[in-house]
């Protein structure tokens, strides 16, 4: 999955310069002309970084930044402010709201790349693998952690994946390992003695073989100083303790640019199945939303004309999930796929409580849904 960078600036010229600056890197540039448009694009696309102008009509950068930080789904998106020379003091004041960095206009392209490269792992287009890797592919992960319980938690939490977790207690041991077996991703505890995590990071980044290897910092959630230092140095991401392994796994998949659609979409026996997990986070919902149209299009291209939307595992229903279900059904209709829903008694009962969902028809099992689709002729309609 490519990184997304959102540039919010009322100057079309600046937006063109930004787009031109990143043309050689594996990322998508999203554009917005003011804060209102910027918030809408950010909410829809979940960018990995935002370049935000301070002075804009309709909604300026300060108000947009304030709203971003109050939105649980967007508050962690790193923001780099763009400002004119006279606005430098203003940026320093609003830095307290939560900006990662700032750039004074006019700026050079290499400065822009350097600043954003500290936030996300920008890769030149030539470094992009020709074949996208999947969440089902094997990978070598190195975890450098001197606390056995944390290492054990990571190994247990990723045991269901095809990834092999190599645990090590020191950076010296890890460097020896990396020299023999280039890892796909490294996680290193920032609390190792003598700031050895940062020394390790600089060493591995100076090695061309590991220049683009994602490196995560393992850090206590309240250790703001270490987190800030890691972000300034250029760590790919942070995994904060206590660890949420679902979140860690998602960050790893994103950092390794893995196709995670197999978690939710399956094509078998002429039917495309979308399965919503039991307790989807906003990140999961965003992933499913991003994959919806490509996966349904892929199914149509493969000659599949039937789909099952399975919420049988789902434990709760909220507006974000209802929204993605509506979108899934609408996409099926647009691409002429016959589809049906599979649910559990609790979710079916919850749907009866919403005006927009009370008429949804569910099957109680995949077998019933598959049998129903098997009986549908090519010209008939579905739910």
- CATH number of the domain that 277 lies in? 3.30.750.24
Question: What's the whole-model pTM score?
Answer: 0.55
Asked whether residue 265 falls in the same domain as residue 248, the answer is no
127, part of any domain: no
Q: Which residues pair with 185 in a beta bridge?
A: 141
Encode pLDDT of 353-374 as tens digits. 888 899 999 999 999 999 998 8
Task: Select the more confidently predicted residue: 211 or 126.
Answer: 211
Q: How far apart are CA 57 and CA 302, in angstroms?
A: 47
- Which secondary structure element, helix H or strand E, spans residue 17, and what is its range? helix 12-21
Q: What is the mean pLDDT of the chain?
A: 88
Asked whether residue 265 falls in the same domain as residue 370, the answer is yes
Least confident of 140-149, 153-162, 200-209, 212-221: 200-209
Asked whether residue 219 falls in the same domain as residue 178, the answer is yes
Domain assignment of residue 33, given as a range: 3-118
Asked whether residue 234 falls in the same domain as residue 266, the answer is no
Asked whether residue 315 falls in the same domain as residue 331, the answer is yes
Q: How far apart are CA 1 and CA 133, in angstroms?
A: 10
Q: Is 33 helix (H, G, I), strand (E, B) or coil?
A: coil
Give the total number of structural domains in the chain. Answer: 3
Asked whether residue 14 falls in the same domain as residue 97, the answer is yes
Q: How far apart are CA 34 and CA 63, in angstroms?
A: 10
Q: Are strands 163-168 and 185-189 parallel, antiparallel or unpaired?
A: unpaired
Asked whether residue 296 falls in the same domain as residue 252, the answer is no
Segment 1-11 mean pLDDT: 89
Q: Are strands 265-268 and 271-275 parallel, antiparallel or unpaired?
A: antiparallel
132, part of any domain: no
Q: Quick check: 131 pLDDT over 60? A: no
């Amino acid at each position: 999955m490519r990184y997304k960078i959102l540039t919010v600036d009322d100057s079309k010229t600046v937006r063109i310069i930004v787009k031109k600056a990143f043309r050689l890197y594996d990322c998508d540039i999203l554009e917005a002309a003011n804060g209102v448009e910027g918030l809408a694009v950010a909410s829809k696309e979940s960018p990995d970084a935002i370049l935000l102008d301070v002075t804009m009509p309709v909604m300026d950068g300060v108000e947009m930044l304030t709203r971003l930080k109050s939105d649980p789904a967007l508050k962690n998106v790193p923001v780099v402010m763009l400002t004119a020379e006279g606005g430098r003091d203003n940026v320093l004041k609003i830095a307290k709201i939560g900006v990662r960095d700032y750039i004074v206009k006019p700026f050079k392209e290499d400065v822009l790349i350097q600043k954003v490269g500290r936030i996300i792992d920008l890769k030149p287009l030539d470094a992009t693998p020709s074949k996208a890797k999947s969440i089902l592919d094997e990978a070598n992960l190195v975890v450098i952690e001197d606390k056995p319980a944390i290492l054990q938690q990571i190994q247990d939490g990723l045991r269901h994946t095809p990834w092999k977790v190599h645990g090590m207690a020191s950076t010296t041991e890890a460097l020896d390992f990396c020299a023999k077996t280039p890892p796909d991703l490294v996680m290193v505890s920032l609390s190792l003695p003598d700031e050895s995590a940062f020394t390790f990071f600089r060493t591995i980044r100076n090695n061309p073989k590991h220049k683009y290897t994602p490196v995560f910092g393992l850090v206590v959630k309240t250790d703001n100083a270490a987190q800030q230092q890691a972000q300034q140095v250029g760590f790919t991401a942070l995994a904060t303790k206590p660890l949420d392994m679902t979140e860690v796994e998602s960050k790893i998949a994103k950092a390794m640019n893995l196709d995670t659609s197999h978690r939710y979409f399956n094509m078998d026996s002429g039917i495309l199945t979308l399965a919503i997990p039991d307790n989807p986070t906003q990140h999961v919902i965003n992933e499913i939303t991003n994959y919806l149209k490509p996966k349904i299009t892929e199914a149509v291209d493969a000659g599949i004309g039937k789909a099952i939307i399975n919420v049988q595992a789902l434990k709760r229903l909220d507006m974000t999930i209802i929204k993605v279900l509506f979108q899934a059904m609408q996409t099926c209709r647009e691409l002429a796929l016959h589809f049906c829903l599979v649910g559990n008694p609790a979710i079916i009962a919850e749907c009866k409580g919403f005006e927009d969902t009370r008429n949804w028809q569910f099957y109680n099992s995949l077998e019933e849904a598959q049998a129903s689709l098997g009986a549908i002729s090519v010209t008939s309609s579905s739910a």
